[in-house]
């Protein structure tokens, strides 16, 4: 006799419970157990549940830093702070995301490809650039095939849109305060495009805006056993006036990856 055990019900109101009802109508016993198994299955599909219940992707911010929290030297040099094992591990996290996002500052300073290379993959996630005034150079490596590129901008009069479009990039305008991209509107738009998990790998400025606006669900931090002294921080926000204003996080995993420490910390509000 067939017996189906369901760990967690689908959060999508369009289909929730329908599969279970059809199975039962066909005479198949169905148990919805939820509890611990429900938690585990929601964890497995964290981005899907985020998109369906909150209308925005699960935002994971990856940062490579020194033990004193620096992500680049004052002159912008940041390659490479962490070791090879951490970089390979970082690509495995890139691979599971629907989209990889960076800011125009990083495109201009590092010219990253922002693809999945160090682990085998059947598809490249969507690459996203946050670039208010469309200053990304048309020759930037991030625009190279394979995979699609989406640029969020704020200034519709920018003269570079045709050149970037001819490189295959789609441009979406989401103007916000101060002439910058409206990050909340961008996340809503990414969810509407079906993105479940968004992997952010940006510099201190864009990271700062994400943090200030409370849009980061999870930090994936690789911390190298070295000190860099003066340099750029993980996320430029504040200064805060009181410790009670700190962004509250909880550690969910701490592991050595090669010679570096991998720390996963989640927002207590997510
Ligand atoms: N260690 C690491 O994990 C890591 C990772 C990536 C980069 N980096 C380093 O970070 C440095 C670049 O830092 P960055 O801060 O200049 O680059 P970024 O954070 O990648 O990009 C910043 C730019 O994003 C644009 N932007 C658009 N909308 C925004 C919004 N709502 N809020 C904030 N910014 C918005 C702004 O320019 P417009 O307004 O002109 O669009 C801003 O200048 C490089 O040295 C790079 O090596 C380090």
> Residue 13 has what pLDDT?
83
Torsion sign over Cα 207, 211, 212, 213: positive
Sequence length of the chain is 270
Give the closest residue to 168 by CA, choosing from 144, 141, 192, 195. 144
How far is the centre of ligand 1, averaged over its atoms, from the C-alpha of 250 (Å)? Answer: 25
Atom index in ligand 1 nearest the CA of residue 181 equals 28
If one residue of 67, 127, 130 were mutated to test the ligand 1 pocket, choosing by the most ligand atoms within 8 A of its CB, it would be 130
Q: What is the pTM of this model?
A: 0.95
**Ligand 1 pocket residues where CB is under 6 Å:** 63-64, 71-72, 76, 78, 81, 102-106, 109-110, 130-133, 135, 176, 180-181, 183, 201-206, 209
Ligand 1: residue whose CA is nearest its atom 45: 76
Looking at the CA of residue 73, tell me the nearest atom of ligand 1: 45
Among protein residues, the one whose CA lies closest to atom 24 of ligand 1:
103
The whole-number pLDDT of residue 17 equals 87
- pLDDT value, residue 14: 83
For ligand 1, the distance from its centroid to the CA atom of residue 63, given in whole angstroms, is 12
Q: Model confidence over 69-110: pLDDT tens digits?
A: 999 999 989 999 999 999 999 999 999 999 999 999 999 999
For 187-216, b where at least 16 C-beta lie within 10 A, e where not — what string?
bbbbbeeebbbbbbbbbbbbbbbbbeeebb
Separation of 113 CA from ligand 1 center, angstroms? Answer: 15
Q: Which distant-in-sequence residues (6+ apart) come within 8 Å of 190 by Cβ?
A: 56, 57, 98, 99, 128, 198
pLDDT in tens, 152-189: 999 999 899 999 999 999 999 999 999 999 999 999 99
> Which ligand 1 atom sits nearest the alpha carbon of residue 76?
45
Contact assessment for residue 5 and residue 31, using Cβ atoms and an 8 Å cutoff: yes
pLDDT band for position 10 (cuts 50, 70, 90): confident
Mean pLDDT, rounded, of the chain: 96
Domains of the chain, with CATH numbers? 1-44 (no CATH), 54-267 (3.40.430.10)
Torsion of Cα atoms, 116 then 165 then 47 then 179, to 10°: 120
Closest ligand 1 atom number to CA of residue 64: 3
Model confidence at 1: pLDDT above 80: no
Determine the pLDDT at residue 117. Answer: 96
35: left (phi over 0), alpha (psi -120 to 50) or beta: left
- The angle at the Cα of 172, spanning 169 to 173, to the nearest 5 degrees, equals 140
Atom of ligand 1 at shortest range from CA of 65: 1
d(CA 167, CA 161): 10
């Amino acid at each position: 006799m067939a017996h189906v055990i369901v760990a967690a019900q689908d959060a999508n109101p369009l289909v929730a419970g329908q599969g279970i009802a059809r199975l039962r109508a066909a005479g198949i016993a169905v148990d919805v157990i939820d509890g611990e198994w429900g938690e585990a299955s929601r964890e497995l599909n964290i981005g899907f549940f985020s998109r369906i219940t909150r209308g925005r992707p699960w935002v994971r911010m990856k940062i490579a830093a020194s033990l004193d929290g620096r992500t680049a030297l004052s002159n912008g040099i940041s390659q490479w702070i962490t070791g090879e094992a951490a970089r390979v591990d970082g690509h495995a996290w890139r691979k599971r995301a629907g989209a990889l996002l960076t800011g125009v500052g990083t495109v201009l300073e590092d010219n990253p490809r922002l693809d999945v290379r160090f682990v085998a993959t059947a598809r490249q996630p969507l690459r996203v650039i946050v670039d208010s005034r469309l200053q990304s150079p048309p020759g930037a490596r991030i625009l190279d095939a394979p995979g699609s590129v989406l640029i969020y901008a704020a200034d519709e009069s920018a003269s570079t849109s045709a050149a970037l479009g001819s490189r295959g990039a789609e441009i979406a305008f989401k103007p916000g305060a101060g002439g910058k991209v409206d990050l909340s509107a961008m996340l809503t738009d990414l969810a509407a495009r079906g993105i479940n998990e968004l992997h952010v790998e940006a510099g201190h400025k864009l990271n700062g805006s994400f943090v200030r606006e409370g849009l980061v669900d999870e930090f994936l931090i690789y911390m190298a056993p070295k000190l860099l002294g003066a340099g750029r921080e993980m996320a430029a926000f504040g200064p805060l006036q009181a410790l009670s204003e700190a962004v509250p996080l909880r550690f969910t995993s701490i592991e050595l990856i090669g010679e570096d420490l991998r720390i996963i910390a989640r927002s207590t509000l997510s």
